[in-house]
Amino acid sequence: MVAGSPVLLHMDCASGISGDMFLGACLDLGLPVAMLEEMVERLGLDDIELQVRHSRRGALAGMRFSVLRGGRPVEGEDAEGASHRNLPMILGMIERSGLAAGARERASALFRRLGEAEASVHGVGLDEVHFHEVGADDSIVDLVGAACAIEHFAPARVSCSTVVVGSGTVRTRHGVMPVPAPATAILLQGVPISAGGVKGEMTTPTGAVIVRELVDSFEPSAADVPRRVEDAGVGLGSREVADRPNALRLQLATLESAGGLPWNRVAVLECQVDDATGEAIGYGVEALLEAGALDVFAAPLQMKKSRPGVAVTVICRPERASGLAERLLLETGSLGCRRTVVDRLEAERSIVPVSTPFGEVGVKTAAIGGRSLGAAPEYEDVRRIARERGIPFRTIYRAAVSAAE
């Protein structure tokens, strides 16, 4: 890799994606298997072994990653205890693991996103969701491992091709379901997908949540980003597919642009409203951010007939503009909005864990062209420690800044 250049991780999902395919590709790309073995130990997953082997799917060679117990693959609903884990249990395992702050944060976000999808499918509260296939040991390894892999490669951006989901039906713990399965379908809302002319499930819930939570941009806009591919890794799926290799390819690349600066294409959505309450605007901002907007802000303005109003601006990836524009109108009541596609200069960002007298805190660093723009402690880490230990927020914040310096 070129020193000082921002790194892009790109996913080619021509045969879909699952958690084990993603980790297989990461291992083929250079992720140390010892890192995943240490992760398993820290999570307290007893009697679990990791199997990594070179193999082939069709004409394509790659890495096959499997989670074993007693020499046999651990497979979702067949795993002992899988049906007894709910979201708080899994989040507790992650928090107690002692993994790097950035990895814990991403792993928890992956399971929260998955929990929200499952809660929506079953019509229950978030803490009432009991994970079955995705609560098994192999899925916990897959998702926490994905978070650790992102921490290891530290990409400035993650991009993705159109995701092939397959077609037909799949058998689950809840019976026969259409492909994509209900939770997968919810997770992939707003994501470019295709059946791909393939029968069967090609994208699993674990693969779908990795895409939804970690990816910044999708093709076609992702394909327009100038980049120099430095390395590639191939992760193999568990079965053979008739007309293509059942494999996920990851490309590790350095971003290039005129003058060496990382310009990226974004869409800007704008509308003005004069009949929405402050509470409605505040809720709308939160809802748009949760729906995938990069940034949302509101500002007061004077509208026609001297009425006071609010201008709402949403910044997002171009491929998410249509869905977010609809959400913008629904939340604000505006009768229309404008869309402008522009280039945005984005700093290279990463989260570095630092040790303080109060515990480990993730510190977000930013740079442009190799020159530092500064660092700031992660709010959620500081907030959590302040609440748990009854220490003033600013005391922990200052300790983290001092440790980062």
Among left, alpha and beta (phi > 0; psi -120 to 50; other), residue 373 is: alpha
Q: Is 391 helix (H, G, I), strand (E, B) or coil?
A: coil
Using a pLDDT cut of 70, give the percent of the chain over it.
91
d(CA 362, CA 356): 10
Instruction: Report phi then psi at 402, rounded to 5.
Output: -60, -40
- Please compute the mean of the pLDDT values over residues 207-224 and round it to a whole number: 83
Which pLDDT does position 221 carry in this prediction?
A: 62
- Give 156's pLDDT tier (boundaries 50, 70, 90): confident
Residues 145, 210: contact at Cβ < 8 Å?
no
For residue 67, the tally of other CB atoms under 10 A from its CB is 26
What lies within 8 Å, CB to CB, of 123 at 6+ separation is none
Q: Which domains does the chain have, with CATH numbers?
A: 7-260 (no CATH), 263-345 (3.30.70.1380), 350-404 (3.10.20.300)
Which pLDDT does position 82 carry in this prediction?
A: 45
Which pLDDT does position 270 carry in this prediction?
A: 95
HSE-CB for 309 with a 13 A CA cutoff: 16
pLDDT higher than threshold 90 for residue 207:
yes
d(CA 58, CA 246): 8
- Please compute the mean of the pLDDT values over residues 329-351 and round it to a whole number: 86
pLDDT higher than threshold 50 for residue 201:
yes
**Which range is least confidently modeled, 66-75, 102-111, 154-163, 284-293?**
66-75
- Give 81's pLDDT tier (boundaries 50, 70, 90): very low
